[in-house]
Amino acid sequence: MFPYTAPPRIMFDGEAPRWFEPEKIVVTDTTLRDGQQGWRPITVQEGLRVYELLVELGGRGAIASAELFLYTPRDRELVKRIREYGADYPKPIGWIRATMNDLKLVIEAGLDETTILTSISDYHIYYKFGVTRDKAFNKYLTVVEEAMKRGIVVRCTLEDATRASLEKNILPFVEKLIALSERYGVTFRVKVADTLGLGLPFPEVAPPRGIPALIEALREAGLAAEQIEFHGHNDLGLVVANHLAAWLHGAGMSNCTLLGIGERAGNCPLEVMLLHYVGLTGRLDRVNLEALPRVVEVLEEMGYSVPEYQPVVGRNAFRTKAGVHIDGLLKNPEVYLPFDPGIVGRRADIAVTAYGGRAAVVMWLRARLPEKIAETIDKDDPRVEAIYREIVRLFEESGRHTPLSDEEMLRIAARYFPEIENS
């Protein structure tokens, strides 16, 4: 269950949920759509750099598609450049509103698949559009039908699905999509959008807030795993749990953004779902998680500030301050690490404070001294004791609250270990 050289496996007590199909689950990306919408507009060159990151991370099939806007000349140029890039995965698809003018943009871009915004809750139908359900559905379906006539696969976004009636809104609309799909012989997909992050991951919770019940209802209605995509937001802090619940209860696609960048509290972090993808499928061969530091580097170059405590990619994700934890890491890294940080291109690190104890000094030294010297250092070494006492005195006398930098530690340690200056 806990292999150190791979992300932790996700196992079941007895049989897996009825609709779960691990061979059909994939991640899909919306960094270039919802990500830039929730952060800032990006240039064509920046968009290409983000797309290249996606190819590097999941271009072996784990990241199936990447959706893009088509509204501005910059958007359309980015789509053109991505198509010219020629990668099999992620496949570029459009994102449009349910209008004929928007559909024309998809056709002109030469795309054979597009997401279409089909807001599904009464909040949107009555308050945003000011129409009845029938009028809203007919408007959506007119565009969907025209797309299907042209052989374009549509991915209908059921916006605000977790505030929509399953019986009056979601299922009647899906039934109409099924009828059109059968008439034209073109498949379709639905994106279940938890637009306000109200979803709950527990099977006992009724729809629309219950994600397992909502996804299973779509499977009961006749949709296959590859026809159901889940798109969550993190307003109530449950986005990863909801995305996992969607996968486990029958959805094939998990629609995410790099680092969870998106509207308000953000979207589902793509890198975290890639870890869980491996945990559910064992397919480490379909991902390249070692590319994640490159993701951080590129986004920071673009001006995005990665939170220090962000899971997996934040600077503190594999950094330990507590003396008890550091002592455990010295004895065996598996004690306080969920998996080898090298899997995601990182290494275990420590932050030296007055609370790190002698173990922190030993671990810091071992990471920086020549190997033959490093392996002889332990907590009983008098030089370690001397360095530790200097650290404690420094914090006590200065009233300091922040960890020591590597440069500060180097100045202290070099007095006792001159070899460290040349290591």
Q: Report pLDDT digits (tens) over 348-391.
A: 888 888 888 999 999 999 988 998 898 899 999 999 999 999 99
Q: What is the separation, in whole angstroms, between the first and last Cα of the chain? A: 38
pLDDT of residue 116: 98
pLDDT of residue 399: 84
pLDDT of residue 422: 61
Query: Is the pLDDT assigned to residue 204 strictly greater than 70?
Result: yes
Residue-wise pLDDT tens digits, 270-299: 999 999 999 999 999 999 999 999 999 999
Compute and round to an integer the Cα radius of gyration of the chain.
25
Domain made up of 22-301: CATH architecture: Alpha-Beta Barrel (3.20)
Query: Is the pLDDT assigned to residue 187 strictly greater than 60?
Result: yes
In this structure, are residues 259 and 295 in contact, taking their beta carbons and an 8 Å threshold? Answer: yes
pLDDT of residue 421: 67
Residue-wise pLDDT tens digits, 212-232: 999 999 999 999 999 999 999
In this structure, are residues 145 and 128 in contact, taking their beta carbons and an 8 Å threshold? Answer: no
CA nearest neighbour of 35 among 245, 304, 307, 309 = 304
Q: Supply 308's token pair.
A: 């220090």
pLDDT of residue 266: 97
User: Dihedrals φ, ψ of 107, to 5°?
Assistant: -60, -45
Residue-wise pLDDT tens digits, 13-36: 999 999 999 999 999 999 999 999
Residue-wise pLDDT tens digits, 133-183: 999 999 999 999 999 999 999 999 999 999 999 999 999 999 999 999 999
pLDDT of residue 326: 83
Lowest mean pLDDT among 210-214, 333-337, 406-410, 419-423: 419-423
Residue type, 390: E
Query: Is the pLDDT assigned to residue 423 strictly greater than 60?
Result: no
User: Dihedrals φ, ψ of 352, to 5°?
Assistant: -85, 120
- Find how far residue 53's CA is from the centre of its chain: 13
pLDDT of residue 149: 98
pTM of the model: 0.94
Residue-wise pLDDT tens digits, 124-140: 999 999 999 999 999 99
Higher pLDDT, 288 or 324: 288
Query: Is the pLDDT assigned to residue 77 strictly greater than 90?
Result: yes
pLDDT of residue 334: 92
Residue type, 205: V
Give the number of other CB atoms < 10 A from CB of residue 260. Answer: 26
In the chain, CATH 3.20.20.70 sits at 22-301
In this structure, are residues 320 and 336 in contact, taking their beta carbons and an 8 Å threshold? Answer: yes
3-state secondary structure the chain: CCCCCCCCCCCCCCCCCCCCCHHHCEEEECHHHHHHHHCCCCCHHHHHHHHHHHHHHHCCCCEEEEEECCCCHHHHHHHHHHHHHCCCCCEEEEEEECCHHHHHHHHHHCCCEEEEECCCCHHHHHHHCCCCHHHHHHHHHHHHHHHHHCCCEEEEEECCHHHCCHHHHHHHHHHHHHHHHHHHCCCEEEEEEECCCCCECCCCCCCCCEHHHHHHHHHHCCCCHHHEEEEEECCCCCHHHHHHHHHHCCCCEEEEEHHHCCCCCCECEHHHHHHHHHHHHCCHHHCCHHHHHHHHHHHHHCCCCCCCCCCCCCCCCCEECCHHHHHHHHHCHHHCCCCCHHHHCCCCEECECCCCHHHHHHHHHHCCCCHHHHCCCCCCCHHHHHHHHHHHHHHHHHCCCCCECHHHHHHHHCCCCHHHHHC
pLDDT of residue 384: 95
Q: Sorting pLDDT into bands at 50, 70 and 90, what band is 320?
A: confident
In this structure, are residues 189 and 153 in contact, taking their beta carbons and an 8 Å threshold? Answer: yes
